[in-house]
Chains A and B, each alone.
Chain A
Amino acid sequence: MPGVNVFIPGTTTGTASNTYGFYSLRLPAGEYEVVFSFVGYQPRFFSIKLDKDIPLEVELDPTIEIEAVEVRAEMPKQSSRSSQMSVMELPIQQMKAVPSLLGEKDALKVIQLMPGVQKGSEGTSGLYVRGGGPDQNLIILDDATVYNAYHLFGFFSLFNGDALKSLELTKGGFPARYGGRLSSVLEIVMKDGNKEKISGEAGIGVISSRLVLEGPIVKDKASFIISGRRTYYDILARPFMPDDIKLGLFFYDLTAKANWEINRKNKLFLSGYFGKDKFSGQERETNSAIEAGMFWDNATSTIRWNHIFKSNLFSNLSLILSNYRLKITTKEKYDGNTFELSYRSGIRDVGAKYDFTWMPLPSHTIRFGLNSIWHSFNPSAVILKDTYTNDFIREVNTINTYESGIYLEDEVKIFDRGIINAGLRLSHHFHAGTSNLSLEPRISGSLFLTKTLSAKASYAHMNQHIHLLSNTGIGLPTDLWVPATKFAPSQDSRQVAAGFVKDLRDISTTLSLEGYYKESKNVIAYREGASFLMFDDPTGATEIKWEDNVTSGTSLSYGAELLAHKKSGRFSGWVGYTLSWTQHQFDEINNGKPFWARYDRRHDISVVGIFEISEGITISGTWVYGTGNAITLPLAIYPIRENAPSANNLWDGNIQDYGEKNGFRMAPYHRLDLSVQLHKKLKSYERTWEFGVYNAYNRQNPFVYFVDENASYNQETGEYTYTSKLKQVSLFQFIPSVSWSIKF
């Protein structure tokens, strides 16, 4: 488990386990009591006589005890004592207690409740972190990059909370071991599987059911965990559909992991994720049939080898595969002939990373390593089959690039006054015969003002060699991953942050106040009127250069974040507030003038509370508030005509005059969610009923605005009068949910 506190009570001596659960603590010879603790788990206490290097493997059990665990000593590794800032660790148990849309526990939706993280549209799972878009987040599942982390048009994320061990979001002050994205790193680790006995969880909800099964392969040596989820939304939506249309609407997830402890110094892990979404329709008539739809799927797999060279030197070697595909297709059959046209895009990664953790001295933790990824992009692939004309065309556009990085960082404890993590990352990108090298300095540190209060600051230079073209029209998952090229160069950002962190006496509560300032360049957007899907001749699809449809610009974001987070206890939760500004500037958009980002949200407030009334009842609530999204409204209409000598069939009509891009604010967004969980421990299992309501006071938050024009006829005057009304579509009203789950 990552981030487990390992400390000697009554002292300031301690450390924390790394991402792979490795730790090393150097002490003078003697007798000690060592405590291992992590939020949401039973702490473990060991009495040790230290006269030589002692390997100590510890397993922690999750706890649901309602009584607060007595804390026998202060915990030295608190947020205020860490070198890092802008990091949020979310206890999985806490995540599972937060109310959710339709009862679907969603890790990314809970992350959106943290300061500095905005959501995009109502109900969607996309993360906008400190002004950055969703493409600027590196989402890692067991070391593998996940490119499209969403189901159902972004309304749910891929991550089934039942199979997760830990979840950590870094928004700034990035250590040198992270690279490749500008705005955040979301590191998600799957559970390893119970090595003692077969256990699991199952749940049935309003739109999906899930099952987790874990257990030993060889007791105490090897274990597995399998988790699956499938929606039956297509069945629920059927009554709302026209009779002659058959719809296929579903998504599924499958995660699997196996681990094998070869010996004390070597462990092997194998993990994978597979998920798919399908949205299609079929119509059948006597001589004809048509099927059309949109499908996308993700697959990742990782093989990892942990090795301990000696007591203070650890390594992790990972081999990684990741694949994302999108397909939009239409297929028509008529009188025995078939016409099929499909558009596909995707990205495939094959990579490796080798990381080392070395603790040569008690005051130094040195990390170094390298990673290498071969990307294969398919920005467009068109397949046309027509049995009537005997046409078969397959035009595939493939771009291969290579990305790598090498890093070195040292975390230094400066006596008892502070701690600094300084590092350097060299990133490399190769495409079409051109290599780009970039040096990325990173530094973050804490100055201990008291035992529980510190001042923090950080600087990070990041590069991103991959772009996501996201159409802002209606937000469908037609996101297109493309590489950095000569015409769309790598994105680059520099971020400074500073603030204070205070750990309260009840040390499971942390207060933090941070300010940040981030400049990014070479961010890309579609040109006005552009879309990757518009072409008249499929045989010419590969001639369409996506670079011709995009333009580069800059982004500036700054703001302040306040968080009060209580991670454990009968009452837990957090309050977060963000005050932020995000502006873009593109020479070819908005006449080159800076404009607000669509998701620029001046104020963002989240209040989350979880209260365990008794052993069997937990209630929770979430209230969120955010300034409305910035949109562009048409302000006037006027006539125009194209120039041509004495011709008909010219473009001659009316054009809408838009105001400043994103110059208008939608109504503010706010919403209250509530839930109650009823637990009951039975002989061989524990069951939970959860009753929840999303949008408890039925706030009609705007999802999209549109102009509705109506005409009315005056019989007396014989004239028509027209009105333009601005209307809004609100997506999710008061939505109750119920779910049933068991743990065995």
Chain B
Amino acid sequence: MNIINSKTIKYIAIALAATMHYSCIKEVENLNLPNTQPKLVVQSFISPGDSIIATVYASKPINYNITGTHYSTFDTIKTATVTLTNLTNGSSTTIPFDTDKKKYILHPLDFTIEKGIEYELNVTANKFNPITTRTTVPTGLASVTISKIDTTRGSQFESSVIRINGFFNDPANEVNFYQFSSYIINEYFSGEGYEIMYSTYNSTYVTDNNHNGGNVVFKHETHYWENETVNGFNNTNTLILYMYEVDEHYYRFHKSLETISDIMDNPFTESAHLYSNIEGGLGVFASFVRVEQTSTKE
């Protein structure tokens, strides 16, 4: 719950409106409004043993007062050249475009991603400035301990809450970032049989800032609906936990995304920018290493 709930905001907004009943709204005219060019939007998260996937889009400028198409639809740039380079041994590969999935995808056997190695991603596309960005894959030396899983059951009208406490055993003498994620597995009948769908996904991000070499504690919380059956969904009550060691770009990107989704249109907060390590473009190139994956039933 927020102290500023909808009712409080409503009354304060009405009071402000009363104060400002002298006000008026009009279009801004005769100003040097920005006329922005599209930028490349590149997003790729690499990890040892996983397929290498990159998406390439073009941002849509908000050209004020000019009629345009809907912003919510973005077409993938299919003709970009996406090159990945291992900066230690100099090996390089071009990632091909998959027309079915509309992404640039490379099988893990075609190019190895190794722990502790720095990789560079280059993307060029017609009519755009080329971008170059780098990430260093985490060493993956951390381990994780889950000390407690608590479930607080909700009623017919409230969700149940699962609280997980634990810590990452943090290697010394390096800066580390971690992600702890959980899923509740649902299954549904698609007409051809039962299929699994992951739902109720939550992530917690922590860093070893000021705890170098010690235990980096996390407290994670997720929730689910008991006995949920909606449109053929059944809750199988299986909890899957993923624990990753991530690089700084991964951490900062997801933390800033978390902040943006928390604040949305709340006027009481500072505006937030989404982190990007794409110089001259937008998006993120980052890496992670799976520390542990486990599942548990009720």
Q: Which residues of A contact B (CB under 8 A)?
A: 152-153, 155, 233, 237, 240-242, 245, 247, 249, 279-281, 290, 292-294, 328-330, 332, 341-343, 382, 471-474, 476, 478, 525-531, 533-538, 632-651, 654-659, 664, 667, 700, 702-703, 705, 707, 711, 720-733, 735
Contact = CB atoms under 8 A, between A and B. Distances in A.
Contacts of B109: none
A653 to B, nearest CB: 8
Contact of A530 (B22, B63, B267, B269): B269
Given A527-B270, A533-B268, A657 B282 contact: yes
Nearest to A705: B28
Contacts of B256: 528-529
Contact of A281 (B11, B65, B198): B11
28 contacts: A247-B11, A247-B18, A279-B15, A293-B11, A328-B4, A343-B3, A473-B266, A473-B268, A528-B271, A529-B263, A529-B269, A531-B263, A531-B269, A533-B2, A636-B39, A637-B62, A642-B203, A647-B198, A647-B201, A648-B197, A648-B199, A657-B39, A727-B26, A729-B24, A730-B24, A732-B23, A733-B22, A733-B24
B257 A658 contact: no
Interface string B210-247: 00000000000000000000000000000000100000
A292 B21 CA distance: 21
A637 B267 contact: no
Contacts of A648: 197-199, 201
Contacts of B2: 533-536
B201 A730 contact: no
Interface residues of B, number: 83
B147 interface: no
Nearest to A702: B28
B43 to A, nearest CB: 6
A727 B29 CA distance: 9
Contacts of A727: 25-28
B34 A659 contact: yes
Nearest to A249: B15
Nearest to B263: A529
B254 A642 contact: yes
B70 A720 contact: yes
Interface of A is mostly: strand
Contacts of B257: 640, 642, 651
Contacts of B4: 328, 533-534
Contacts of A241: 14, 18
A533 B267 CA distance: 11
B41 interface: yes
A529 B262 contact: yes
Nearest to B63: A724
A468 to B, nearest CB: 15
B70 A726 contact: no
A242 B60 CA distance: 40
Nearest to A658: B273
A634 B282 CA distance: 14
Contacts of A641: 43, 55
Contacts of B64: 707, 724-726
Interface string B1-41: 11111011011101111111111111110010110101101
B65 A726 contact: yes
A240 B245 CA distance: 57
Contacts of B55: 641
Q: Which of A343, A640, A703 has the most CB of B within 10 A?
A: A640
Nearest to B282: A638
Contacts of B283: 638, 640
B59 interface: yes
